[in-house]
């Protein structure tokens, strides 16, 4: 995914701090006043941007699912005439960017998805299924001998590997972003090759 160079909006600042606080202390362990203080506004001032904490959580979890799917579609659309292996590398890089740069959202998804309203939770699941299917189609193009159920399992397994970043220790304890990204990339490609019996 492309890195933004413009300054984040106040709404984006609020969401970033909400994600960090929710991931650190749990959804119910954080008050609106604390989120406001983290971005330099009063708790009630947040209501000019969001209806409440539930709305923040929904925007965070639906939003990241939309971003991942949109980014994957863009990478595929830009890949006309490019070798499928190169496209897979691009998808992996996009997901690694998310996994390294948005670690609180991974924790939030794991812990708090069930707190979403039914409609929002269904939307997240729908977006995630579409995202998975983009990967499955590409993996099967590269490894045509890999049956669809096995390819889908391999994709979910690779997501589990890449989304393990919140459990890798404190950011300062990792070998550095570039080295970590390269390691995750090699492991992801190795996992797909192993699933296809080429490992």
Say if CB 195 and CB 154 are below 8 A apart: yes
Tokens of 127: 């977006």
State residue 173's pLDDT score.
67
pLDDT tier, 8 (very low <50, low <70, confident <90, very high otherwise) = confident
pLDDT in tens, 20-64: 999 999 999 999 999 999 999 987 788 899 999 999 999 999 999
Closest by alpha carbon to 63, among 24, 34, 102? Answer: 102
* Of 173 and 126, the one with more pLDDT: 126
pLDDT in tens, 9-22: 889 999 999 999 99
Q: What is the pTM of this model?
A: 0.89
In a 13 Å sphere around the CA of 85, the CA atoms on its Cβ side amount to 6
Q: What is the DSSP string of 21-90?
A: HHHHH-GGG--HHHHHHHHTS-TGGGGGT-SSHHHHHHHHHHHHHHHHHHHHHHHHHTTTTS-HHHHHHH
CA distances from 76 to 4, 80, 175, 193 (A): 20, 7, 30, 21
């Amino acid at each position: 995914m492309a890195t933004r160079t413009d300054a984040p909006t106040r709404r984006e600042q609020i969401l970033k701090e909400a994600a960090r606080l929710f991931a650190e202390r749990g959804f119910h362990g954080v008050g609106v006043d604390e989120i406001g203080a983290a971005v330099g506004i009063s708790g009630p001032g947040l209501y000019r941007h969001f209806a409440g904490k539930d709305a923040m959580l929904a925007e965070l979890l639906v939003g990241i699912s939309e971003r991942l799917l949109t980014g994957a579609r863009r990478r595929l659309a830009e890949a006309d005439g490019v070798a499928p292996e190169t496209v897979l590398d691009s998808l992996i890089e996009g997901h690694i960017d998310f996994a390294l740069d948005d670690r609180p959202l991974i924790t939030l998804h794991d812990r708090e998805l069930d707190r979403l309203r039914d409609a929002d939770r269904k939307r997240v699941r729908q977006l995630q299924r579409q995202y998975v299917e983009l990967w499955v189609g590409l993996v099967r193009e590269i490894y045509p001998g890999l049956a669809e159920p096995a390819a889908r399992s391999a994709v979910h397994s690779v997501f589990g590997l890449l989304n393990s970043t919140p459990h890798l220790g404190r950011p300062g304890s990792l070998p550095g972003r570039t080295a970590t990204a390269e390691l995750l990339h090699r492991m992801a490609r190795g996992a797909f090759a192993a699933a296809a019996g080429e490992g």
